[in-house]
Chains A and B, each alone.
Chain A
Amino acid sequence: MADKLLDVDGISVRVEDKEILHDINLKIGRGETHVLMGPNGAGKSTLGFALMGNPRYDVTDGKIMFEGKCINDDAPDKRAKDGIFLSFQSPIEVPGLSLSSFIRNALEKHRGNRIRLWDFKKELEQAMELLQMDKSYAERDLNVGFSGGEKKKAEILQMLMLKPKLAILDETDSGLDVDAVRTVSKGVEEYQKNQDGALLIITHSTRILEALKVDYTHVMVDGHIVKTGDATLIDEINEHGFEKYLDLIADESGAGR
């Protein structure tokens, strides 16, 4: 069996004084698409931040292995250069820095050399067209005054330009209208097919998944992964919700007394 791209081995994660995630195990292979679902407050975003290395999130147990190496102590920019990408649920505004300048700089860091402006602009324009983003956004300040939908598109744009090995999408479809979801979906599809990227899609609704090929589905409740299945698990959740899994957790904690 081939080495997994991402191997999360029994990690627990604390924020300030509270333990949010307990004993999480997750394996993602190259090119695979995983979906992580769960009710609000389950801890799904926490997992995304912990994998990306946000200093506010403390991994207290276990190991995160990426391409066979333990990355627990790696700073977020190192993880980014190694090929992990996180699409933020609430992208940050950075006044004074244009979207295109930002992407170009990040790309130069990834590749380790300067990029010719002309080539860059062409590639950027193509990606923006795919995402139906108006060209003018390239020169606008990063995320400043962008609507929710435009912010999410800007995240996917960055993903397409940076071409990571593993993209973690945190609630990418939340707050988007029908058309925007479709467009963003297209971007993710493009990444899945033509860049052969691995995906961890964190969501509590399933709209974005309709056009994608999903390999594995995980359900998270109260900081635990309570069930792993294939794509059919998504339909089950759509029909019956998370109730069955909430009860599961309640039973287990009840039994513990």
Chain B
Amino acid sequence: MVSEENIMGQNIDLTVNRLPALTWNSLGVNQTVIPDVLSEGFKRITAENEENLHKAGKTDSELWNSMDTIPTGMGEDVCGFIDKDTDAICISSENIGEEKIIFNCETSGDAYRDIKLFAGENETLTVWMGLKSSAKAEGKLTLRTKIKASKGANIRLVQVNLLGRDMELVNDIGAYCEDNANVSVLQLFLGGKNTWTGLKTTLKGDKSRLDVDTGYYCDNGQTLDMNYIADHYGKKTESRMNANGVLKDNTHKLYRGTIDFKLGASGSKGDEAEDVLILGDDVINQTVPLILCAEEDVEGNHGATIGRLDDDILFYMASRGINEEDASNLIARARIEALAGQIGDEELSRQVCEYIEEATGYGEEL
């Protein structure tokens, strides 16, 4: 169900996903331009079952407004665009511990929504966001999520992109942690045609922590443009960002992952790992894992493994009767299913498994 409130404006280009430290311009990864975004005609999308969502009231608007300054991964352009939204979905741990939000783009058209998640001191909040659409729907869905975890709080955000193949997704997230707070994010990018996503986390409080698991399966012309940033400000802060995915024929994926240790973040640790299985032809895989450091007493690691399956693994699989094509599909499926197992919501989990089984032709080869 889509509300009729429009945002007025004209065509604009959004410059998004800028690298915190630039590299050679010729590589084309310093930032991305989403061209010709029609801000006129964007409609605010309402979640399924929105009336029953436990939205926090407007009474504590100071709290929600304070989240306006939290920086996001995709940057100012998307924020400026969405800031015009006057009716964000605001979920607070004070009202509920878990909430599921489903956005269903039933008809074609561009849609947007602003979402804010808050957890009070030592409280826990888990939010699932499922994105789907009718099979032939066309248009751009733009979501901006701001997360604030107070002292000792835990916020978990799970996002599953199961949009139809003619939809595009612009998905921006900004998170902020106070002392001893934890934010964990699980994302599965499966559907949609083109996806742009960013996540910036400000680990302000001491001993705060970020965990991000991103899984993707791209085939048949899909593109995925990502920007993940962990800013370590507080002491003894920790971040772990993993991206794990599969690229089949005719796909383009750009992963930017930054661990930034600011001066004063002593005792902190940052870990970034990317594992890309390239199974198709005409693939463009770009990986830019940055570590920026102004503080001596830290530990930063990143690793990236890109390419095909190891010969040793292929032989091992073959020795059990599984040929190369089946082994590739098996492992691709296993990657996504492993993350699906962490979703924590049976329906979403099942939808992901169904999607990936069909995409990898499970059962067809028997």
Direct contact of A and B (CB under 8 A): yes
The answer to whether A75 and B321 touch (CB under 8 A), given A97-B334, A114-B363, is: no
Assess whether A75 is in contact with B313, with CB atoms less than 8 Å apart.
no
A86 within 8 A of B: yes
The answer to whether A96 and B331 touch (CB under 8 A), given A77-B318, A88-B316, is: yes
Stretch at the interface among A4-12, A37-45, A99-107: A99-107
A54 within 8 A of B: yes
**A75 to B327 Cα, complex, angstroms:** 14
Assess whether A96 is in contact with B334, with CB atoms less than 8 Å apart.
yes
Which B322-343 residues have a C-beta within 8 angstroms of A? 322-323, 326, 330-331, 334-335, 337-338
**A114 to B310 Cα, complex, angstroms:** 27
Cross-interface CB contact of A80 among B319, B330, B363, cutoff 8 Å: B319
**A134 to B334 Cα, complex, angstroms:** 22
Interface residue tally for chain A (C-beta within 8 Å): 32
A113 within 8 A of B: yes
Assess whether B321 is in contact with A109, with CB atoms less than 8 Å apart.
yes
A92 within 8 A of B: yes
> In the complex, which residues of chain B have a beta carbon less than 8 angstroms from the beta carbon of A97?
330-331, 334
| Chain A, residue nearest B365 (CB) | A109
Assess whether B334 is in contact with A108, with CB atoms less than 8 Å apart.
no
The answer to whether A158 and B320 touch (CB under 8 A), given A76-B315, A114-B363, is: yes
| Chain B, residue nearest A49 (CB) | B315
A27 within 8 A of B: no
Cross-interface CB contact of B366 among A52, A92, A98, A113, cutoff 8 Å: A113
Kindly provide the distance from the CB of B188 to the nearest chain A CB, expressed in whole angstroms.
14
- Bitwise interface map of B from 291 to 315 toward A, beta carbon under 8 Å scored 1, else 0: 0000000000000000000111101
Assess whether A106 is in contact with B316, with CB atoms less than 8 Å apart.
no
Kindly provide the distance from the CB of B270 to the nearest chain A CB, expressed in whole angstroms.
21
Kindly provide the distance from the CB of A92 to the nearest chain B CB, expressed in whole angstroms.
4
B101 within 8 A of A: no
| Chain B, residue nearest A109 (CB) | B321
Which A37-88 residues have a C-beta within 8 angstroms of B? 52-56, 75-77, 79-81, 85-86, 88
The answer to whether A106 and B366 touch (CB under 8 A), given A54-B315, A94-B331, A97-B331, is: no
A35 within 8 A of B: no
> In the complex, which residues of chain B have a beta carbon less than 8 angstroms from the beta carbon of A96?
244, 331, 334-335, 338
> In the complex, which residues of chain B have a beta carbon less than 8 angstroms from the beta carbon of A158?
320
The answer to whether A85 and B319 touch (CB under 8 A), given A96-B244, A114-B366, is: yes
Assess whether B331 is in contact with A108, with CB atoms less than 8 Å apart.
no
A contact set with B: CB distance below 8 Å:
52-56, 75-77, 79-81, 85-86, 88, 91-92, 94, 96-98, 101-102, 105-106, 108-110, 112-114, 158, 162
